[in-house]
Amino acid sequence: VVRELGQGAMGTVYLGRDPKINREVAIKTLNLNDVEPDQLKEVKERFFREAEAAGRLNHPNIVTIYDAGEEHDLAYMAMEFLDGKDLSSHCSAKKLLPVTDVLQIAADVADALAYAHNNDVVHRDIKPSNLMLLKNGQIKVTDFGIARVVNSSQTQTGTILGTPSYMSPEQVSGDRVKGASDLFSLGVVCYELLSGQKPFVGDSLGSLMHNIANVKYTPLKRVKPGLPESCYTIVRKLLKKDIKDRYRNATEVADALRKSIAKTG
């Protein structure tokens, strides 16, 4: 362990170095003594689910997990060290990225999702703070803590997990969540990165969830006029409340975004 990188929601993250190959890694730790006894099973499951879900994926736009385990009262996960910042800093109107950069990022995230979905992993928590923009311009999808491995035995119907503003209508309704849900969340992220505003808001969690499931959002064109027409088309299709009206899969999304880049670039 070299130094502490920061405190996460569930523990401390350290910068580590693998002495055998001199590789820098991030070590995510969870002190099991800090967890309420009645929550221990669930918290541990979530911690190791991230290792399982991301660990079975090998893609340039997905964080790589090297190792995970438990020692004494500590659960740990060693993963690729990401030198960069998440996208939440580019969600305010004053700090928006250039449109072509947003389209490129979204296309790369769509590639990552296509790969994950083809490997039976649904992320379920796509949001700006889980998308790391590295100093070299590469984007990485992180935090598979609530990902679902589709062919695993437990069904998650009825369990509402995710970050409310970015949830899909089927997520807030507690329905079974498939890859199409990640596409809706990506649509919310695109809307926010292009305009600096969220499509769905509410005075309370209940009203926010009601709005996502039932209420029309203000079209992106009205919030941010002057963008390429293809941006409006893509976001509108991603944010369709009915799964059948969205893109069929993440590969289609990536193709549409790259066509848009070619037109606007």
By annotation, the residues acting in catalysis are 125
Compute the distance between CA of residue 133 and CA of residue 33 in angstroms, rounded to an integer: 33
Q: Which two tokens stand for residue 185?
A: 């969340």
Q: Tell me which H or E stretch contains 122.
A: strand 121-122
Compute the distance between CA of residue 9 and CA of residue 32 in angstroms, rounded to an integer: 13
Nearest to 11 by CA among 27, 33, 25, 30: 30
Could you give the 3-state DSSP secondary structure of residue 154?
A: coil
What lies within 8 Å, CB to CB, of 167 at 6+ separation is 160, 181, 184, 185, 209, 212
For the stretch 119-156, what's the b/e string if a residue is b when 16 or more beta carbons lie within 10 angstroms of its beta carbon?
bebbbbbbbbebbbbeeeeebbbbbbbbbbbeeeeeeb
Q: Is the CB of residue 136 less than 8 Å from the CB of residue 82?
A: no
Q: Which residue has the tokens 């190792």?
A: 67
- Chain centroid to Cα 190, Å, comes to 12
